[in-house]
C-alpha cells in the first residue's frame, strides 16, 4: 500500500500513517467523526491494532438530510445542531489529549448546495477539516469496515444512511463492484405520492441496483443505524435472549415478519421497548420496506448485522496487509491479556496445557480455545463471588470482532467454568439455548481444564503438568513434574476430579517421565 486512498489524499482523511509498524500490536488513540445524513457521531478508537475498541462513542441525531430532496439544502436546524456537535466533539478530543479529529461527511453534505458552506462553518468553529466523500468511496469504506470484523468474508455489503444507500461486494478480503443510490429513509420520506409512490421508487431503484451488481446470493451484511434499529425490533419480535447487534443473524422470512410486525404494533410502544430514539424509529418502517425489496431481489443466503462501517473502514484502509491478515479475535484477546492479566503471556502456555483434550477440534473451535485461554484471567479484579458472571458478561457483550453469537456463548460458558464448577442458577441460562448441548459440554471441559491449569503454574517457567486424553477409552491422565507435585494440593485435586467428571472419564495421576 502506498497510503493513498481512492479520494486521492495521502493517507486518506488522516494525512498521516496510523500504523507505521506492520507488526503493531496496539493502537494509539484515534478520533473519527462521521457526519451522516441522519446523525453525527464521534468514535475514539483504542486497544488492539487489528481489532480497535470504542474508547469513546457518542452520536447526535441532527437529521442534516431532512428535506434535502425538496430544498436541495441541508436542514437548517440540523445544520446548527451539527456545528454545535462538532464544537463539543473537539472539546472532548482536547480533554482526551488527541491532537486531531478526522472527519468524513457523506450523502447529505455532498448533495446539498450549501454543503461547502457547512464544511467552512465547521472549520471556522473548530479547526476540523471535513472530507466529503462520494457514494462509491462511501460504499468502499463501509465494506472495508465489514472486513475489519470479518476477515476473508464474502457477500454483499448494504450500508444505509439517512439520504443514501450503498452496495459493495466483498470477496477474498477485497472490495469489488460498488454503487450508491438515493434509497435513504430521509429522502424516501419526502417522495411524492405517499406510500404508493415510495414503494414504486424503492422497487425501481433496487432493480437498477441488481442490474448493476449482478447476482449476489451470498451473505448480506447490513451497515447503518436504521438496519440496527430494525434488527433490534426483530430481536423483540423473536424474544431473542442476547442484545448484541453485531453478528446478529436474520433470514428473509425474519425480514418479512418484522416488517409486518412494525405495521401491526404501536411504534411508540415498540420504540420504548427496544430503546430506539424517536428520530430513528420514525425511519425504521421505511427502512424495513427497503430491506424487504433488497432481500426479495438479491435473495441472499443469510443476513448479518455489522456494527462496523465507514469509521472502521477508515482504519482498515491504513492497515498494512500483514496486520489485516491477523485474526481480530485473537489480537483483541491478547491485548486484554497484556493489559489486565496477572501473568501476561501465560495464556499461550494454558493453550498448550488444554490442547490434548481437543485433538480433532476444527479450526473455529481451536481459535475459541485460544481466545478463552488468553481471557482466562483478565477479570481477576472482580469480587470472587462475581468473577464467573463478570467473565460471562465480558465474553458475550464485549466489543470482540469475528464472533458469532453462539461463539460468544461458548466463550462465556468456558470462562464461567474457569471460576465456577456449576453453571446452573445463573442469570445467563436463557442464553445457553444459542449453543448446542455438545458445544456447551465442550465449553465446560475447556473451562474446567483452564481452572485446573491456573492452579499449577507459579511462574512462566517449564510446564509443571501435562494432560493425556484417550477419548476411546475415556481415560484422562495428568503427569506431574517434581515442581508440579508440590503445586498439586487438595484444591488442585478437586479441580482435576471436576474435569474428569465433566469428561465422564476414568483418571490417573502419574509422575512425569513414567
- Distance between alpha carbon 29 and the CA centroid of its chain, in Å? 18
The pLDDT score that the predictor gives to residue 432 is 93
> What are the φ/ψ torsions at residue 280 (nearest 5 degrees)?
-70, -45
Q: How confident is the model at residue 4 (pLDDT cuts 50, 70, 90)?
A: very low
CATH 3.30.420.150 in the chain: give the residue spans.
136-310
CATH number listed for the domain at residues 328-511: 1.10.3210.10
The pLDDT score that the predictor gives to residue 154 is 93
Q: How confident is the model at residue 22 (pLDDT cuts 50, 70, 90)?
A: low
Beta bridge partners of 467: 478
| Residues 358-379 pLDDT 10s | 999 999 999 999 999 999 999 9
Q: Which CA distances in Å does 90 have to 8, 84, 96, 116?
A: 26, 10, 10, 20
Grid cell at residue 34: 462521521
Cell 450500508 sits on residue: 159
pLDDT averaged over the chain?
A: 92
CATH 3.30.420.40 in the chain: give the residue spans.
12-133+312-324
> Which of 4-13, 138-147, 186-195 ranks highest by mean pLDDT?
138-147
The pLDDT score that the predictor gives to residue 514 is 59
Enter the DSSP assignment of 150: S
Cell 476430579 sits on residue: 497
Q: Which helix (H) or strand (E) holds 159?
A: strand 155-160
- Nearest residue to 59 via CA among 351, 307, 368, 329: 307
The sign one gets for the Cα dihedral 347, 352, 358, 359 is positive
**Burial of 320 (C-beta count, 10 Å sphere; 0-12/13-18/19+):** middle
Grid cell at residue 176: 469489488
Question: How far, in Å, CA of 112 to CA of 73, rounded?
Answer: 5
Sheet arrangement for strand 465-470: 465-470, 475-480, 506-511
**Burial of 54 (C-beta count, 10 Å sphere; 0-12/13-18/19+):** middle
Q: Which fold has domain 136-310?
A: Nucleotidyltransferase; domain 5 (3.30.420)
Cell 446539498 sits on residue: 112
Q: What is the mean pLDDT of residues 464-483?
A: 95
The pLDDT score that the predictor gives to residue 180 is 96
Q: Tell me how crowded residue 364 is: count the other CB atoms within 10 A of its CB.
A: 10
| Residues 231-261 pLDDT 10s | 999 999 999 999 999 999 999 999 999 999 9
- Nearest residue to 443 via CA among 466, 418, 424: 418
CATH 1.10.3210.10 in the chain: give the residue spans.
328-511
> What are the φ/ψ torsions at residue 167 (nearest 5 degrees)?
-125, 140
- Nearest residue to 62 via CA among 162, 182, 184, 188: 162
The size of the chain, in residues, is 514
The pLDDT score that the predictor gives to residue 182 is 93
- Nearest residue to 255 via CA among 272, 273, 240, 233: 233
Q: Does residue 75 carry a pLDDT above 80?
A: yes
- The region of weakest confidence among 193-202, 281-290, 454-463 is 454-463
**Burial of 124 (C-beta count, 10 Å sphere; 0-12/13-18/19+):** exposed
The top-level CATH class assigned to 12-133+312-324 is alpha beta
| Residues 77-96 pLDDT 10s | 999 999 999 999 999 999 99
Q: Angle between the 346-354 and 363-375 helix axes, to the nearest 10 degrees?
A: 130
- The region of weakest confidence among 22-31, 170-179, 405-414, 486-495 is 22-31
Q: What is the mean pLDDT of residues 414-418?
A: 96
Question: How far, in Å, CA of 264 to CA of 435, rounded?
Answer: 32
Question: How far, in Å, CA of 471 to CA of 382, rounded?
Answer: 36
* Residue 310 and residue 302 in contact, taking contact as beta carbons nearer than 8 Å: no
**Burial of 283 (C-beta count, 10 Å sphere; 0-12/13-18/19+):** buried
Amino acid at each position: 500500500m502506498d497510503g493513498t486512498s481512492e479520494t486521492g489524499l495521502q493517507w486518506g482523511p488522516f494525512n498521516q500513517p496510523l500504523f507505521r509498524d506492520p507488526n503493531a500490536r496496539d493502537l494509539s488513540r484515534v478520533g473519527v467523526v462521521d457526519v451522516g445524513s441522519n446523525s453525527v457521531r464521534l468514535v475514539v478508537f483504542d486497544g488492539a491494532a487489528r481489532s480497535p475498541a470504542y474508547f469513546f462513542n457518542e452520536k447526535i441525531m441532527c437529521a442534516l438530510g431532512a428535506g434535502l430532496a425538496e430544498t436541495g439544502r441541508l436542514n437548517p436546524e440540523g445544520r446548527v445542531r451539527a456545528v454545535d456537535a462538532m464544537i463539543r466533539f473537539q472539546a472532548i478530543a482536547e480533554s482526551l489529549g488527541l491532537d486531531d479529529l478526522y472527519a468524513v461527511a457523506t450523502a447529505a453534505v455532498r448533495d446539498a448546495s450549501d454543503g461547502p458552506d457547512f464544511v467552512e462553518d465547521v472549520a471556522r468553529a473548530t479547526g476540523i477539516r471535513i472530507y466529503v466523500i462520494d457514494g462509491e468511496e462511501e460504499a468502499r469504506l463501509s465494506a472495508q469496515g465489514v472486513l475489519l470484523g470479518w476477515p476473508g468474508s464474502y457477500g454483499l455489503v448494504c450500508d444505509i444512511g439517512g439520504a443514501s444507500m450503498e452496495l459493495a461486494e466483498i470477496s477474498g478480503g477485497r472490495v469489488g463492484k460498488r454503487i450508491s443510490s438515493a434509497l435513504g429513509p430521509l429522502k424516501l420520506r419526502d417522495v411524492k405520492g405517499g406510500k404508493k409512490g415510495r414503494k414504486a421508487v424503492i422497487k425501481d431503484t433496487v432493480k437498477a441496483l441488481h442490474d448493476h451488481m449482478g447476482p449476489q446470493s451470498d451473505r448480506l451484511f447490513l451497515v447503518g443505524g436504521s438496519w440496527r434499529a430494525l434488527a433490534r425490533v426483530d430481536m423483540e419480535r423473536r424474544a431473542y435472549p442476547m442484545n448484541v447487534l453485531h453478528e446478529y443473524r436474520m433470514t428473509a422470512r425474519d425480514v418479512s415478519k418484522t416488517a409486518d410486525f412494525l405495521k401491526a404494533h404501536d411504534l411508540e410502544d415498540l420504540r420504548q421497548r427496544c430503546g430506539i430514539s424517536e428520530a430513528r424509529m420514525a425511519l425504521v418502517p421505511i427502512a424495513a420496506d427497503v430491506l424487504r425489496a433488497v432481500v426479495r431481489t438479491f435473495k441472499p443466503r443469510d443476513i448479518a448485522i455489522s456494527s462496523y462501517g465507514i469509521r472502521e473502514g477508515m482504519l482498515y484502509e491504513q492497515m498494512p496487509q500483514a496486520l489485516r491478515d491477523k485474526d481480530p479475535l485473537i489480537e483483541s484477546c491478547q491485548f486484554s491479556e497484556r493489559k489486565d492479566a496477572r501473568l501476561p503471556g501465560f495464556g499461550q502456555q494454558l493453550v498448550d496445557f488444554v490442547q490434548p483434550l481437543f485433538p480433532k477440534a476444527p479450526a473455529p473451535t481451536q481459535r475459541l480455545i485460544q481466545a478463552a485461554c488468553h481471557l482466562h484471567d483478565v477479570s481477576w479484579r472482580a469480587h470472587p463471588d462475581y468473577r464467573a458472571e463478570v467473565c460471562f458478561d465480558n465474553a458475550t457483550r464485549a466489543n470482540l470482532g469475528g464472533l458469532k453469537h453462539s461463539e460468544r456463548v461458548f466463550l462465556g460458558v468456558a470462562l464461567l467454568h474457569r471460576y465456577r464448577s456449576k453453571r446452573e442458577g445463573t442469570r445467563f441460562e436463557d442464553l445457553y439455548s444459542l449453543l448446542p448441548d455438545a458445544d456447551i459440554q465442550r465449553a465446560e471441559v475447556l473451562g474446567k481444564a483452564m481452572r485446573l491449569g491456573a492452579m499449577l503454574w507459579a511462574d512462566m517457567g517449564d510446564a509443571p503438568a501435562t494432560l493425556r486424553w484417550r477419548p476411546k477409552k475415556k481415560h484422562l491422565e495428568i503427569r506431574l513434574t517434581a515442581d508440579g507435585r508440590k503445586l498439586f494440593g487438595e484444591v488442585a485435586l478437586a479441580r482435576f476430579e471436576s474435569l474428569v467428571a465433566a469428561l465422564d472419564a476414568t483418571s490417573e495421576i502419574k509422575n512425569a517421565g513414567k
